[in-house]
Amino acid sequence: MRAATLSATLALAASAARLHAGPLTDGTQLFGTGFPELSAAAPAGPANSWLVVADNELPRLGLFNLASFPASQSAPALRSAQSGSLEVDDLEAVTIFPWDIDGDAKPEASYHVFAASCARTRGKGRVEPLRDALFAIRINPDSPPASAFPDPASIEYNRTLRSQIRSLGAEHASDPWGPILRNSVHSPGTQPDAPNASLSTESGLNIEGLSLSLDGSSLLLGLRSPLVNGRALLIPLTNPIGALGLGESQPQPATLGTPTLLNLNGLGFRSIERDPSGNFFWIAAGPASSDDAPFQLFTWNGNPDSPPTPVVSPAASLATSRSPEAIAIAPEWPAALVFSDGGSKLPFFRGTAVAPPPPPSAR
């Protein structure tokens, strides 16, 4: 993470009403401590006045009251609650899934869905089983801190993303993306958990984006890597209720559809989130490798034949200069919050409010 001189800091207002009324404007600065490798963020709670965050180095989630963010970059935002230890490693993505249980077009329950799926190896080269997880939880910020998150023992994990992505690639071996996806889960000629399995940052599977589709029927998995001829892969998961094990069922194997290849100027997904209008997506894109390449923000109308549109504004430039890892947006917010991790040098995460440009038209 590159250090940046911060010339101005605007504090969020002390109440949800004031928070939503105006201070959260283009270029607003946010700061907080405790999750220096912030990798995912989403609104939570009544009026979306809370923020839930994940850290890719910690198997825990944190909950913050947005109104508590301080004016000083060195002052901590007070974490209201923290989850217990989760059975997951390298958690990189979160989105909100509204579940319409009775089909009346009025969701009766809202879940936060998290994903971790990375085929890169650690230690002696063995692929980590905990780096393959999809799960949904309900968060209640109004509860006492000890019960804001569910008991970790009650969480059902779906650990089929890696195997289903490999199968999807194998079934489409004649498509340019098929062999690349198939071989992204483990090196050709090796078994998935072989001690000497070796995948590079660029060739190994790494899901860092997760969003609800525009029509609300699917979840979309945005891959940081691998790229296909310089384009980023967006894979639809078409059975979210079954895959998440909502209701009385156990999590079922993920059903995956044909990927969309997006031109993000040679970058991969770091975050994707549906705008509250339901008309377009926000995308944070960064290098597929560990190279120090420029990051970019885009909007996209969801049409596979339409290229994403770069977001051009002073606030967007500020946000991308900090290597953004997460985007959070809510109907009550006049701007999207674009978060960067602090890295090893900074004990806080940083966020910039970026006002939405005119929505990209469908073409």
With tokens 């602090």, the residue in question is 342
Q: What are the helix (H) ranges across the chain?
A: 16-21, 161-171, 177-182, 240-244, 314-320
The pLDDT-based confidence of 2 (bands split at 50, 70, 90) is very low
Pairing of strands 296-300, 61-65: unpaired
The Cα 65–Cα 68 span in angstroms is 6
Q: b vs e for 230-258, b when ≥16 Cβ sit within 10 Å of the residue's Cβ?
A: ebbbbbbbebbebbbbbeeeebeebbbee
**Phi/psi zone of residue 112: left (φ > 0), alpha (ψ -120 to 50 degrees), beta?**
beta
pLDDT for residue 340: 82
pLDDT classification of 302: cutoffs 50, 70, 90: very high
Give residue-wise pLDDT tens across range 32-54: 656 778 899 999 988 888 889 99
By residue range, what is the domain housing residue 247? 16-159+208-354
The pLDDT of residue 337 is above 70? yes
Average per-residue pLDDT in the chain?
82
What pLDDT band is residue 214 in, cutting at 50, 70 and 90? very high
Q: What phi-psi label fits residue 184: left (phi over 0), alpha (psi between -120 and 50 degrees) or beta?
A: alpha
With a pLDDT cut of 90, the percent of the chain lying above it is 53
Residue 10, pLDDT above cutoff 50: no
Specify if 165 maps to a domain: no
**Is 187 inside any structural domain?**
no
Q: Is residue 145 part of a domain?
A: yes
Q: How far apart are CA 79 and CA 211, in angstroms?
A: 25
Give the Cα-Cα-Cα angle 139, 20, 63 (nearest 5 degrees).
25
The helix (run of H) or strand (run of E) holding residue 109 is: strand 109-118
pLDDT of residue 305: 94
Of 135-139, 191-195, 274-278, the one with minimum mean pLDDT is 191-195
- Does residue 254 lie within any of the structural domains? yes
Instruction: Return d(Cα 130, Cα 92) in angstroms, integer.
Output: 13
Is residue 220 pLDDT above 90, yes or no? Answer: yes
Report which of residues 301 and 20 the model is more confident about: 301
For the cut 90, the answer to whether the pLDDT of residue 77 exceeds it is: no
In this structure, is residue 153 part of a structural domain?
A: yes
pLDDT in the model for residue 189:
57
Q: What is the CATH number of the domain that holds 78?
A: 2.120.10
Instruction: In whole angstroms, give the CA distance from residue 114 to residue 83.
Output: 13
AA letter at 243: A
| Mean pLDDT computed over 82-92 | 93
How confident is the model at residue 126, as a pLDDT?
A: 54
Of the two residues 261 and 2, the one the predictor is more confident about is: 261
- Which DSSP state fits 47? G
Residue 64 binned pLDDT confidence (cut-offs 50, 70, 90) = confident
- Tell me which of 80 and 241 has the higher pLDDT: 241
* pLDDT of 79 higher than 70: yes
- Residue 334 pLDDT level (bands cut at 50, 70, 90): confident
Higher pLDDT, 8 or 326: 326
Q: What is the DSSP letter of 130?
A: G
Residue 249 domain-assigned (yes or no): yes
pLDDT of residue 313: 92
In this prediction, residue 358 carries a pLDDT of 75
Higher-pLDDT residue of 304 and 196 is 304
282: in domain: yes
* More confident site: 323 or 232: 232
Report cis status (omega within 30 of 0) of the bond before 308. Answer: no
Only one residue has tokens 């968060």, namely 139
pLDDT, average across residues 284-288: 95
> Token digits for 253?
């194997």
Domain presence at residue 200: no
**How many structural domains compose the chain?**
1
